[in-house]
Amino acid sequence: MDTNNNYKDFTEKFYEVEEITDTFKDLQWGSSESQKIRFQYLTKLFEEDTKEISLLDVGCGLAHFYNYISENNFVNVQYSGLDIQPNFIKFASKKFPECDFINKSLFELETKKKYDYVVASGTFNIVLPNTNMDDYLKQNIKKMYELCNKGIAFNLLTTNTPSHDMESINACYNPIDILKLCFGFTNKVNLYHSYKINDFTIVMYK
Ligand SMILES: C[S@@+](CC[C@H](N)C(=O)[O-])C[C@H]1O[C@@H](n2cnc3c(N)ncnc32)[C@H](O)[C@@H]1O
């Protein structure tokens, strides 16, 4: 990607916390419920796959998605988490030594190793300085798609919301534009736009 490294420094600073509480607050979510309902829709990607699967969580934060899938009996998942924020990765590695954690940005990750499924929750929610956000998102989706054997899922904030309570830091996307973009990769695309007022999820398969 030809964007400079500004996005990395900015993101690292943005998600810096003085003390990790291991709650939704550290990840800048509004509530634990809003974090969990996003997880619920991400699992649609692999919930019918009963085989042993490998999963990469891009922007894993404190690996709360791993908590969620463990609590919901997805015992067949080999979980890896990737995050720019070193303190999150350090914390998550201690919490879940059975998982693999990588302190890199998505663009720094090589595509030699593939994962069955790749997910991202809240990873593309902030406006980055001096960055064309449409292009940034497109490059991220492309990279996630390259990294997967079977499919990817991610959520975004929607422009299609009646209450305009979004702050200027929130990166919002038009779901129809995103759907069109994803059809450029595959026809096997699902859009979920009914579970929350300000968010939507894309699930797509190879
Ligand atoms: C809103 S938090 C969500 C964390 C986690 N997915 C959850 O829902 O609990 C977004 C996370 O994405 C990470 N992030 C943002 N852009 C990233 C990138 N390009 N590569 C890796 N991590 C990224 C941030 O550091 C932050 O931890």
* Biggest CA-to-CA distance, the chain: 44
Ligand 1 atom showing the smallest separation from residue 104 Cα: 21
CA–centroid distance, 58 to ligand 1, in Å, is 7
State which amino acid sits at residue 116. D
Mutate which of 3, 32, 39, 83 for ligand 1 pocket (most atoms within 8 A of beta carbon):
83
What is this structure's pTM?
Answer: 0.96
Residues with CB under 6 A from ligand 1: 11, 15, 27-28, 35, 58-61, 64, 82-85, 88, 105-106, 121-123, 125
| Alpha carbon distance 128, 170 (integer Å) | 9
Contact in structure between 60 and 88 (CB atoms under 8 Å): yes
For 20-78, write each residue's pLDDT tens digit.
Answer: 999 999 999 999 999 999 999 999 999 999 999 999 999 999 999 999 999 999 989 99
pLDDT value at 165 more than 80: no
Mutate which of 11, 38, 43, 109 for ligand 1 pocket (most atoms within 8 A of beta carbon):
11
For 111-138, write each residue's pLDDT tens digit.
Answer: 999 999 999 999 999 999 999 999 999 9
Sequential DSSP letters for 58-84: ET-TTTHHHHHHHHTT-TTEEEEEE-S
